[in-house]
Structure formats: C-alpha cells, structure tokens
Amino acid sequence: MTEMRVRVAIREALREEMERDDSVFLLGEDIGSFGGAFGVTKGLLEDFGPDRVIEPPLSESGFIGSAVGAAMMGMRPIAEIMFVDFITVAMDQIVNNAAKMSYMYDGEISVPMVIRAPCGAGVRMGVHHSQSFEAWFAHVPGLKVVMPSTPADAKGLLKTSVRDNDPVIFLEHKGNYHTKGPVPDGEHLVPLGKADVKREGRDVTVVALGIMVGKALAAAEQLQEEGISVEVIDPRSLQPLDEESLVASAAKTGRVVIAHEAVGPYGPGAEIAAVIGNGAFGYLDRPIERVAMPFVPVPFSPVLEDHVIPKEEHIIVAVKRVLGEA
C-alpha cells in the first residue's frame, strides 16, 4: 500500500493506462503545461508529449465530439471537462451520440471513452462551478456513471472505466482531491457496479455518494459513542448500480439514510430509495430518510454555501430520526 491523495491516485491511473495502451490519450482545456484546473494531469504532457495530451480550443462540444469520433474509430480517449457545469455545452454529443451509438449499430460500434469532470460545492466557486449532475447521466441509457470517494477507489475505478467499451462519466468531487488514503501497489482494478461497505454496522444503513462517504463515516464515529451502530455503504457507481448489496444492507439493519450532495428532488437518492423500497420493504422498520442539498442554486456567499451543503450533523439527525429518537 502507498499513501496518496485522490488527485495523485487519478494521475497514476492515467499514467498507467497510457503506458499500457497506446490508444489511450487525454484531451481537455489546460491539461498540459498547466496540469489541469486542479493539478490532476500535472507532468503527463512531459511524459507523453502533445500528441497524447491534447489541449483543444475552448469548445466542450467540439472536443467531446472529437472524443466520440476517436472512440468509434478504436481509440480510448479520456476527456476532461474543467468543471462539470460546462458539460451542459456538450450534452448533444454525450446524450445523443456517445450514449446511442452502440445501440444504433447493434453493437458493431462501441464508444470506449471516459469523461472526467470535477463536481460539487464547498470550494467558493459560485453557482456555475459547483453543481452535481450525476442523476442526469444515470438517467441516460448507454452511459455509465462513476463517483469515487477514496484514493484507492479513484484509481481502481478509473482504470476499469478506461478499459470499458461503453462511455463512462467519471465524477470527481473537488473537495475530495486532497483526501489522502492507502492505494494498493501494482495493478489495481475496481469493478463497476460493485458497492463497498466502508463500515459495518447493525442499527442503520447510510448509503452515501462521493464526498458524503467521508461525512457519513465521521457521523458514524460520533454515533458510535452514543451506542448507535451505523453501516456505511458506498455504491461507487450509479450506473450500473449494485442493487443487491444495497437491499442486503437495508434488510440487515431495517433502517436507511441516503446522503448525497446533489439536490434532493429527483436526485440519485430517489432511485436508491426506490430500489431499497422494492427489494427490502418488508424489512424496513421506518421510512427511508434522505440527506441532500436543498432545491436551490449553490450560493457564492461562503456563509450561504456552508448553510446549504449537507453535513455530517445532518446525517446524525437523519439517523436518529429513523431510530425514532428525533
């Protein structure tokens, strides 16, 4: 095991996949000499040159469209959207082209590409640089959606995504880039569609996505001091979703809290709740609780931004509510 931060784990995954497969290349704004908006691709231009670390013009629709075409012709592009908010400019290329090609050509054409995008709030970047769009893309047949929470998962999931023959939306929370943790040495792959139990528990299941995993674990530590045993499960990918593991955990504890940073209405937690409700309804002792961003734009004011972002104390309150203690 080697200790590293999430941004370094992602960089190592990119480097290893580019060394392993000459068809893998990067493209995105400022990913070369600048190293990307958050320093993830730092040093890769020097290692692989401008033919494989490409800085296109400031046109997300243009370079995502180029990535779709390259993937159709047998390459494995990894495109970086500087902020997930800017992915809206390329929705036609992603939703109507990348996601549909394999279906329209009866599997004779695949689109093996990854779109990396920093997402989430908490870094004082305002309404156009702080959103969470994971539910959008999980709703589109043909796309896979991945949300890592730890350095090990970030590396292993990204390497698996690069090797996948379908387009993958790989969402990296900006607030997680500095998170440090152990990463296995050597070849490390994490399968898509396999949830991970980050903490075993018996009283309540907390299903947490992305940066909320760390907050859920912190909440579980506090609740343990009060004699409440919390199981924390990280789906790691929303599409495919490990329904079996979610239902099994809910059936074991009988109480469920779902935590994500995306807004609550029509958010990813709604689908997770439906899956658990369908599969474990007879085991649930209380209604499912959700912890999420309120239905508002992300404010620029630090005080207001801190007010709307879901926190570990919100998870604690929700856990106590499903236990009938609040």
Q: Which residues are catalytic?
A: 129
Q: Where are the alpha helices (DSSP H) in the chain?
A: 6-20, 44-48, 60-72, 91, 101-104, 134-138, 151-163, 212-224, 243-253, 268-280, 302-308, 312-322
Tell me if 21 sits within 8 A of 78, measured CB to CB.
Answer: no
**Residue 224, SS3 per DSSP:** helix
**Residue 180, SS3 per DSSP:** strand
End-to-end CA distance of the chain: 41
Tell me if 306 sits within 8 A of 275, measured CB to CB.
Answer: no
Q: Pairing state of beta strands 204-208 and 230-234?
A: parallel
Tell me whether residue 99 is exposed, middle or buried, using C-beta atoms within 10 angstroms of its C-beta: 0 to 12, 13 to 18, 19 or more: buried
Cα–Cα distance for residue pair 94/250, rounded to 1 Å:
34
Tell me if 242 sits within 8 A of 145, measured CB to CB.
Answer: no
Tell me if 104 sits within 8 A of 160, measured CB to CB.
Answer: no
Nearest to 188, CA basis, from 220, 148, 228: 148
Tell me if 119 sits within 8 A of 172, measured CB to CB.
Answer: yes
